[in-house]
Each structure stands twice: as structure tokens, then as C-alpha cells.
Structure 1
Amino acid sequence: MYLEIVSPEATLFSSEIDAITAPGADGEFEMLNHHAAIVSLLTAGTVKIKVHTQTHLDFEKLHPEVTPHMSDNKVLTLKIKSGTLESKDNKIIILAD
């Protein structure tokens, strides 16, 4: 599945992922490969991105204001203030503030 996180200023993240957990308006939710199409409002919180390997991530492509944290279990975390998530055909786009 492919994830793209964009802000009004720039693309913050763009890569293949295994799973994502996002702070939804009604609580945190997780999405895996082949998830049904969805549009959701996001609240302030942490987006947790599960990657299968760190080798395909190019941290130099991340926006300079983004400070990702990669844990030992291959989960990249990014803080957001709010946003909108859209998922369709194994592509997830987050418009983040």
C-alpha cells in the first residue's frame, strides 16, 4: 500500500508501507493493505506508519520541518495538528496541517 502525506507547503512523506494508524475524529484507527475506500477527518495526534524495511525510506526526501522517529519495531511516527485522510485502491493520501 502507498502512503502520501502532504501539507499546504510540501509533500512531507511518500513511500510504500505495510500499515498506518491515524488519529480519527472518533478515535484512533488502523488501516492495512486492501482496506475499503474511506474518507476521514483527523485530529491532533500521532500518525504511526508501519514499514517492512527501513532501506526503502529516503529520509532526505522528508520535508525539513518533519522530525520522524523510527522505533526498533519499524514504526515511523509523525505528529499532526489536524487533517483529512482518503484511501482508495491501496493508496492513502493525508492532507495534514
Structure 2
Amino acid sequence: MFLEIVTPEAVLFSSEIDCLVVPGIDGDFQMLDNHAPIVSVLKEGLVKIHIHTQDHIILDDLNGRLEVEKDDDRILSLAINSGTLELNDNKAIILAD
């Protein structure tokens, strides 16, 4: 699946991923390839991005916003205050604050 994370300041992330976990208003939920289309409001929490390998992703500093998990370098975390998510045809877009 393809993921793009956009804030008012910049595009923070844009790449193919294996899995995505987001903080929905009713709790965290996970999306994999071929997930049904969905639109959701996100609350404050961590967006967790599971990537196959870090070889093809260039991580900029992003003011310290995007972090690699300590236990697994294939999981990236991004703290958000709120946002919205749209997933359709294996493309997820997160508009985050």
C-alpha cells in the first residue's frame, strides 16, 4: 500500500509500506494491503508505519517528528495531535496536525 502523510507545513512521508496503525477516535486500528475503503478522524497518538526495509526510504530529520522504533527498525512512529485518514485503492493519505 502507498502512504502519504501531509501537514500544513510539509509532506512528512511518502512511500510504499507494508502496514499502518493509526489512533482512531474509538481506538487504534490497523490497515494492510487491499483494506476496504475508509475515511476516519484521528485523535492524538502515534501513527505507526511498518516498512519492509529501510533501504529504499530516505529519512529526513523532520524536526525530530519521525522516529524509528527501538525494538524494530522497520517500524516508524509519528506523533500527531489530530487528523483525518482516507484509504482507497491501496493509497492512504493522512492529513495531520
Q: Is TM more than 0.5 here?
A: yes
Secondary structure at the counterpart of residue 29 of structure 2: strand
Q: Is contact 1:13-1:63 (8 Å) kept? A: no
Change (3 A) 1:65 1:76: closer
List alignment gaps of at least 5 residues for structure 2: none
What's the counterpart of residue 40 of structure 1?
40
Return the offset for 1:68.
Answer: 1.7
What's the counterpart of residue 68 of structure 1?
67
Secondary structure at the counterpart of residue 57 of structure 2: coil
Name the Cα RMSD after superposition: 1.4
Partners in 2 of 1:28 and 1:57 — Cα distance?
25
Q: Is contact 1:10-1:63 (8 Å) kept? A: no
Q: Establish whether residue 95 from structure 1 lines up as the match of residue 95 from structure 2.
A: yes
Q: Percent identity?
A: 55
Change (3 A) 1:75 1:34: same
Return the offset for 1:69.
Answer: 2.1
Return the offset for 1:65.
Answer: 5.1
Deviations 1:38-86 (A, max 9, x none): 00000000011110001011113x6335242244431111110000000
Partners in 2 of 1:63 and 1:86 — Cα distance?
23
Secondary structure at the counterpart of residue 63 of structure 2: coil
Q: Is contact 1:49-1:77 (8 Å) kept? A: yes
Q: How many aligned residue pairs are there?
A: 96
Return the offset for 1:25.
Answer: 0.6
What's the counterpart of residue 29 of structure 1?
29
TM-score normalised to structure 1 length = 0.91
Partners in 2 of 1:20 and 1:67 — Cα distance?
14
